[in-house]
Amino acid sequence: MRFSSPPNLGSVSRPLVPVQAVVTLLLIQCASAKMAPLGQTVEINDVAYHIHPDAIGRLESCYRPKPSSGGVLPYDLLPITIFDVGQSQYNESSLKQWIASYLAKDDVFNEGFLQGTYLRVPGPKPNIALPDASGDSRISFIRPIEAGAIDCPAGPYMLSQSTGELFMPYRLYSDTQGSFHQGVIAAKGGRFEPLSSSLAGSSSVTIGVPSRLYYKPTAQKPLSGVRLGVKDLYDLEGIKTGAGSRAYYNIYPEANVTAVPVQRLIDAGAIVIGKMKTTQFAAPEFARDAIDYQAPFNPRGDGYQEVGSSSSGPGSGMGSYEWLDLALGSDTGGSIRVPAEDNGVFGNRPSHNKVALTNTVPLGPQFDTAGFLVRDAKLWKTACEVLYSDLTTNYTKYPSKILTYDLPSTATDNVSNLVVSFIDKLSKHISATSSAYNYTSHWSQTHPAGTPSDVQEFVGNTWAILTAQEQIKLVKEPFFKAYAAKYNGRQPFVNPSTNGSWSWAGSQSNQVDVAVANKTVFMDWWNQVAMPPNRDSCSDSLFLYMFNNAQPAYRNTYTGAAIGTQGLAGVLLGLNTGFISPMAGNPDFVVPIGEVRYKSTVTAHEEKLPVSIRIMAARGCDLMLLDLINELVGAGIIPKVNTGDSLDGGPIYI
Ligand SMILES: *[C@@H]1O[C@H](CO)[C@@H](O)[C@H](O)[C@H]1NC(C)=O
Ligand SMILES: *[C@@H]1O[C@H](CO)[C@@H](O)[C@H](O)[C@H]1NC(C)=O
Ligand SMILES: *[C@@H]1O[C@H](CO)[C@@H](O)[C@H](O)[C@H]1NC(C)=O
Ligand SMILES: *[C@@H]1O[C@H](CO)[C@@H](O)[C@H](O)[C@H]1NC(C)=O
Ligand SMILES: *[C@@H]1O[C@H](CO)[C@@H](O)[C@H](O)[C@H]1NC(C)=O
Ligand SMILES: *[C@@H]1O[C@H](CO)[C@@H](O)[C@H](O)[C@H]1NC(C)=O
Ligand SMILES: *[C@@H]1O[C@H](CO)[C@@H](O)[C@H](O)[C@H]1NC(C)=O
């Protein structure tokens, strides 16, 4: 073990106490000082760990472990492991098995934690014979006097040899893909603190994760131990929210409350490990337009493809890191769905209004939703059940109609081959018919009295106006005011996309009310006429479309304007298919269906790009979609999603 900071730093003056010091020699009375330990950074068998400064338990009623031969650990903290051994008799081979199973299950435990071994048995008296001299020279046993002396879960710990206190080690990882804004760690009273350890020799943010061995999902805590990254639009008590803006991060204090969506996940056992990057104020940005902070990197293909906005950090992280299980994003007009497609992971825009977005930086509250980017469809369903209220569960069969919008019906290339084959397998799996559907012509035939027959004329500007004019009122105005107050009337920098949208919408009359009225009429038409509910199948139909054409989009191509129409950066005019679910409030889920090859101009090699499809259902039918997707994964119709350059897994080219 190697300590990279003075070993006794973490054990001084804990908990936080004022220290009165009088330096008599110089006849100066010093003011009181506050000192707080922030934890330590250590290496155990060449793996770096952050040691939490607060003890979580005590092993006082045990014999001290015998000093290690060779005296290689002249430190107070000793890496030890607690094993729960049930009533089984201990023997050499069973211990080997427990160690092997810990190594297989957990990326935090390593054999360096066998400096002390605590075999815990249930019942009043240990009934196992502890070997005094283990055949294995790596291991020194800690002998409990009483069973049940500690209630810490089994797993690796750091034991203070002077106090008997136990501390949690967090394995440190380097965020080489730039997916995170900041690493965080739980502190006292439900608060969080920035992770103080930083990996030496890394130019990236450092993230710490606790042992997987501590946690087991239960009915009350179905997300127990799930490592969660949170898009940096959600407040986390004790941590600043940055929303992708340097000025915003600096001007406001730490959040004093945790946003409701995050708190629901924490209450269900999720472990928040960091804040993840967002485009600035959730705007539609290309990677190259992320001026304040560099955009995260897409792991797929050559590693230099567009990463998608605005939940780009969650998308990039989920495609890249085995040590991250789940990421909370937000979707206003595609902000979960687009990065899910680009980074080849699952992503859901849920039914609107299923969780309160308190203490969350808004874009347009009429469209804002909280949802996930994730690799594991089962975990996805569990996380949705935790996050959302009142999801309909009473369907008895899947929809018998599949509507496709602008999808190929014959295979003419590798992408259409995947799409046609997916629709074919899906139709057979749920015994549904599939047919092409065009909402533009359906609208012109059935639109409500008093509305234009051209749907674009009616709601083409609605999303752009409503989001920008709401965000100007809710975010820009207080932010600019606070900045001007601090810096003598100056205004802060904003990225091109946000600046474009705020400038455009700010120059127009206030159209919030008419936009809400138009949206409501369209929503009612969609939910009653185009995609009505169904008593048996929850949704009358499934609506399938593609948003990403699975063509290379290099992050270093400078042709064309910023995202937006008519040269207006950040202004998304026109009702595109991806805006239907924001307008109508129904669920819209992204699933990868395969990959296609392309010749990369970056690696000069053939690489793979993910191909995804979006599936919509009637409002409230989120669980039906999740059940269906899980079945399709089980049947091999939807591929398993791994991290790396390909859905099959692989390296990332950096
Ligand atoms: C060790 O214990 C396990 C179960 O407790 C038992 O199955 C196994 O036979 C034992 N091995 C030896 C070598 O005693
Ligand atoms: C949190 O901070 C806000 C803004 O600074 C303040 O208005 C509010 O009262 C604080 N809430 C709590 C619970 O401290
Ligand atoms: C099933 O769910 C639908 C939609 O929420 C609801 O209208 C219907 O009453 C429910 N049926 C039963 C039997 O609970
Ligand atoms: C849908 O219909 C409109 C007009 O009716 C047409 O302009 C458009 O091309 C159609 N879209 C598709 C994908 O077929
Ligand atoms: C609302 O609909 C009217 C047509 O009825 C249209 O002229 C107007 O541009 C729309 N405005 C917005 C903001 O949706
Ligand atoms: C923001 O947009 C306005 C209007 O187009 C422009 O005058 C201004 O220079 C832009 N600001 C920045 C920082 O790009
Ligand atoms: C299409 O897929 C086949 C089989 O995987 C592959 O050999 C071929 O190179 C692909 N063609 C293109 C244009 O991607």
Q: Mind listing the pLDDT tens digit for each residue in 60-74? A: 544 455 444 443 345
Query: Residue 21: is its pLDDT beyond 60?
Result: no
d(CA 477, CA 262): 26
Residue with tokens 């073990």: 1
Gap from CA of 514 to ligand 5 centroid (Å): 7
Element (H, E) at 207: strand 206-209
Q: Mind listing the pLDDT tens digit for each residue in 584-634? A: 999 999 999 999 999 999 999 999 999 999 999 999 999 999 999 999 999
Gap from CA of 392 to ligand 3 centroid (Å): 7
In this structure, the residues whose C-beta lies within 6 A of any atom of ligand 2 are 256-257
Nearest alpha carbon, ligand 5 atom 10: 458
Gap from CA of 499 to ligand 6 centroid (Å): 6
Q: Mean of the pLDDT values across residues 570-576?
A: 93
In this structure, the residues whose C-beta lies within 6 A of any atom of ligand 5 are 451-452, 458-459, 461-462, 465, 511, 514-515, 518
> Exposure string (b/e) for 137-148, b if CB count within 10 Å is 16 or more?
eebbbbebeeee
Nearest alpha carbon, ligand 7 atom 3: 414
φ, ψ for residue 586 (rounded to 5)? -95, 165
**Ligand 5 atom nearest to CA at 458:** 2
- Asked if residue 277 lies in contact with residue 178, where contact means CB atoms within 8 angstroms, the answer is yes
Which of 1, 199, 211, 214 shows the shortest CA–CA distance to 109?
A: 211
Which of 313, 463, 291, 439 shows the shortest CA–CA distance to 373?
A: 313
Gap from CA of 256 to ligand 2 centroid (Å): 6
Ligand 6 contact via 554 beta carbon (within 6 Å): no
Global pTM?
A: 0.92
Ligand 3 contact via 527 beta carbon (within 6 Å): no
Q: Mean of the pLDDT values across residues 103-108?
A: 98
Burial class (CB in 10 A: 0-12, 13-18, 19+), 286: buried
Q: In this structure, what token pair is assigned to residue 29?
A: 């009375």
Average pLDDT across the chain, whole number = 89
Probe ligand 1: pick from 94, 98, 101, max atoms within 8 Å of CB? 94
Over 362-395, what HEC string results?
A: CCCCCCCEEEEEECCHHHHHHHHHHHCCCCCCCC
φ, ψ for residue 149 (rounded to 5)? -65, -25
Looking at residue 5, its pLDDT comes to: 37
d(CA 199, CA 4): 10
Probe ligand 7: pick from 412, 413, 414, max atoms within 8 Å of CB? 414
Gap from CA of 93 to ligand 1 centroid (Å): 7
Confidence of residue 195 (pLDDT cuts 50, 70, 90): very high
- Asked if residue 270 lies in contact with residue 372, where contact means CB atoms within 8 angstroms, the answer is no
What is the number of the ligand closest to the CA of 469? 5
What is the number of the ligand closest to the CA of 256? 2
How many residues are there in the chain? Answer: 654
Q: Mind listing the pLDDT tens digit for each residue in 527-558? A: 999 999 999 999 999 999 999 999 999 999 87
- Asked if residue 313 lies in contact with residue 611, where contact means CB atoms within 8 angstroms, the answer is no
Ligand 1 contact via 128 beta carbon (within 6 Å): no
- Asked if residue 147 lies in contact with residue 194, where contact means CB atoms within 8 angstroms, the answer is no
Gap from CA of 582 to ligand 3 centroid (Å): 23
Burial class (CB in 10 A: 0-12, 13-18, 19+), 253: exposed
Query: Residue 59: is its pLDDT beyond 80?
Result: no
Gap from CA of 394 to ligand 3 centroid (Å): 6
Gap from CA of 513 to ligand 5 centroid (Å): 10
Nearest alpha carbon, ligand 5 atom 13: 515
Looking at residue 412, its pLDDT comes to: 96
Looking at residue 13, its pLDDT comes to: 32
Q: Are strands 227-231 and 271-276 parallel, antiparallel or unpaired?
A: parallel
The CATH code of domain 179-194+216-654 reads 3.90.1300.10
Q: CATH 3.90.1300.10 in the chain, residues?
A: 179-194+216-654
Sign of the torsion formed by the C-alpha atoms of 14, 16, 20 and 21: positive
In this structure, the residues whose C-beta lies within 6 A of any atom of ligand 7 are 414, 596-597
d(CA 298, CA 342): 7
Looking at residue 160, its pLDDT comes to: 86
Gap from CA of 80 to ligand 1 centroid (Å): 24
Probe ligand 5: pick from 444, 470, 512, 518, max atoms within 8 Å of CB? 518
d(CA 654, CA 651): 9
Q: Mean of the pLDDT values across residues 357-382?
A: 98
Ligand 3 contact via 394 beta carbon (within 6 Å): yes
Nearest alpha carbon, ligand 3 atom 14: 394
Looking at residue 74, its pLDDT comes to: 52
Enter the DSSP assignment of 223.
T
Looking at residue 385, its pLDDT comes to: 97
Ligand 6 contact via 499 beta carbon (within 6 Å): yes
Looking at residue 123, its pLDDT comes to: 60
Probe ligand 1: pick from 84, 89, 90, max atoms within 8 Å of CB? 89
Looking at residue 419, its pLDDT comes to: 98
Which of 403, 462, 390 shows the shortest CA–CA distance to 619?
A: 390
d(CA 170, CA 107): 10
Q: Mind listing the pLDDT tens digit for each residue in 108-125? A: 999 999 888 887 776 655
Q: Mind listing the pLDDT tens digit for each residue in 400-427? A: 999 999 999 999 999 999 999 999 999 9
Largest CA distance in the chain: 93
Q: Mean of the pLDDT values across residues 446-473?
A: 98
- Report the range of poorest mean pLDDT among 163-172, 238-247, 265-274, 332-341: 163-172
Looking at residue 141, its pLDDT comes to: 60
Beta strands in 278-391 (DSSP E): 326-331, 346-349, 369-374
* Residues forming a β-bridge with 230: 275, 328
- Report the range of poorest mean pLDDT among 54-63, 260-269, 303-312: 54-63
More confident: 77 or 428:
428
Q: Mean of the pLDDT values across residues 253-281?
A: 98
Quick one: what percent of the chain has pLDDT higher than 70? 87
